[in-house]
Amino acid sequence: MWTQHLFLAGRIGWTALLPGAVLASIATTMLSLSATLYMPAALNRALNEYGSLGLVLTLLSWLIAICAAVTFALTIGAVLAQEPPLNRFLTTDRRTP
């Protein structure tokens, strides 16, 4: 949430960033849990078949998957924050009467 606020230079309020932060944390948690099951076997298989190049490509593929999950989560969170019914709870009207 802090990173989003920093990259957007404070133009978006903290509450509007909340759905994206929650979705990104869920996505990274699910990926880290699945990594404990999948990555050891994938790394061993890639190391046996392709050597150190397979190891590097497997790790890069996993990093790409993490980046894609976070990007999709933040994008979906931005849409959720702008569309009803969440937008009335997350955005504040900055106009004063």
pLDDT digits (tens, 9 = 90+) for 55-93: 999 999 999 999 999 999 989 988 888 888 777 666 655
Structure tokens at 21: 């932060």
Task: Name the residue with higher pLDDT: 97 or 74.
Answer: 74
b/e 20-47 (16+ beta carbons within 10 angstroms → b): bbebbeebeeebeeeeeeeeeebeeebe
Element holding 89 (H helix, E strand): helix 87-90
CA distance 90 to 14: 9
In which band, very low, low, confident or very high, does the pLDDT at 40 lie, cut at 50, 70 and 90?
very high
